[in-house]
Amino acid sequence: MLRARLPRFAVAIAIAVVSAAALPFAGCSASDGAPGSTDDGGAEATPPLDAGLADAAPAGCAGDRDPDGMWRHLSCAGLYVDFGAKRVDPALRPYRPALELWSDGAAKQRYLFLPPGTTIDTSDIDEWVFPVGTRAWKELAVDGRRVETRLYEKAASGTWRHASFRWLDDGSDAIRTDDGARIARGGPDVPPYQIPTANECNDCHSGRKDRLLGVEAVSLGLPGAEGPTLATLVAEGRLSAPPATTMLALPEDGTGAAASALGWMHVSCGPCHNRSSAATAEKSRVYTLVRASQLFATDAAPAVASLDAHVSTVGRASTFEIPDGGGATFSMIAAGDPRTSLVSYLSGRRVGPTGNPNEKEQMPPIVTRLVDAKGHALLDAWITALAP
């Protein structure tokens, strides 16, 4: 066992949006009512971001709001214009960030709404500030069935309110739950899927100035992003201070494995491990968020060794002892040796099905119960390739 409580390396629960209709979940096809879907396999015709969003409460939803203004039932919350058919409001824009957070293998669908005529304040390219009325949805499915849908929306006060809605087993609705839940999956030896509590959502989202995760320059500017990408938002005039270039690339070093590892650490650890004073793990001084300002700073890609994720980890000592290591301690990242690298050790561990991840030394320390094997392999490949 480690002899001190470990700093949080937390994973962000990237909450920019989601809906089920466009995913091939049980029995659904690409033409089952997803906005812009086509019957002939053609390209999606996505609606502009300034399309209107219906705000009127559906029939039967009077009195469904909680004191904080959030709906109690997903059927009332505005994601679907036809809940029975799971037909999403056509004003919601499907998107996919280039860097996606691991959620124990859950399939995701995301949607974004920006109010008509508004812009995102990007005067600080690292800390986007969204207009009042912004809504972000993310729906997650496990074993082919919807298990939860998350909503973040910016209220008139300028503050964010959010909710996780747990789907009923028969799919007839999803009910708000702030206390989290565990959902059985597979057999008895398979850890349950875990819906986060409201506080666990805040643990990650508090690390950004304006709370919304995944809708930012790096994740929308890298190859692989879909929907309202960085280039799309600039072209549509939705950024107050558009960057000079809209196509980003993470830098490489001599290993050829740096970019993939940096991207994985950015989305998996960066929302908590960054320089914001509000970030849960800011005091650890381990910063894995890739700052867009560094990528935009020069015409050439910045050196990997100049990025926070390298500076604050590689060769940096820790006080945590290696189990059965004769008193030797981990480095944050020991070049050439994942076995003595704390970042690798923690990201490759999970507590068992009955324990609470918050009370164990694993990273991320909340919600996740299955190791992201692919992401962890990318990390270890880079560590192994670094010159000792």
In sequence order, which residues have a C-beta less than 8 Å from that of residue 325 and are 6 or more positions away?
340
Under the banding of pLDDT at 50, 70 and 90, the label for residue 40 is very low
In sequence order, which residues have a C-beta less than 8 Å from that of residue 324 and are 6 or more positions away?
none
How many whole angstroms separate alpha carbon 199 and alpha carbon 42?
42
Query: Would you state the pLDDT for residue 344?
Result: 96
φ and ψ at residue 341, rounded to 5 degrees: -100, 120
How many whole angstroms separate alpha carbon 172 and alpha carbon 75?
9
Query: Would you state the pLDDT for residue 360?
Result: 55
Instruction: Give the three-class secondary structure for 280.
Output: coil
Residue 54 reports pLDDT greater than 80: no
Most confident of 54-58, 358-362, 367-371: 367-371
Under the banding of pLDDT at 50, 70 and 90, the label for residue 6 is very low
How much is the CA Rg of the chain, to the nearest whole Å? Answer: 21
How many whole angstroms separate alpha carbon 244 and alpha carbon 122?
13
Query: Would you state the pLDDT for residue 62?
Result: 86
What single letter denotes the amino acid at residue 312?
A: S
How many whole angstroms separate alpha carbon 187 and alpha carbon 179?
24
Instruction: Please enumerate, as own/partner, the contacts of 289-292 that have beta carbons within 8 Å and a separation of 24 or more.
Output: 290/218, 290/250, 290/262, 290/263, 290/266, 291/126, 292/125, 292/126, 292/216, 292/217, 292/218, 292/221, 292/243, 292/248
The tokens describing 171, both together, are 């799919």
Virtual torsion, Cα 162, 195, 136, 48, nearest 10 deg: -150
What single letter denotes the amino acid at residue 106?
A: A
Instruction: Give the three-class secondary structure for 27.
Output: coil
Q: What is the pTM of this model?
A: 0.83
Strand order in the sheet with 135-142: 93-95, 107-113, 135-142, 145-154, 160-167, 174-176
Query: Would you state the pLDDT for residue 56?
Result: 59
Mean pLDDT over the full length of the chain: 84
Residue 366 reports pLDDT greater than 70: yes
Task: Give the pairing of strands 87-88 and 107-113.
Answer: unpaired
How many whole angstroms separate alpha carbon 147 and alpha carbon 140?
6
**What is the enclosing helix (H) or strand (E) of 92?**
none
Residue 43 reports pLDDT greater than 70: no
Tokens 């349950």 belong to residue = 192
Map out the domains of the chain as residue ranges. 258-385
In sequence order, which residues have a C-beta less than 8 Å from that of residue 182 and are 6 or more positions away?
192, 193, 194, 195
At 62-113, the pLDDT tens digits run 889 999 999 999 999 999 999 999 999 999 999 999 999 999 999 999 999 9
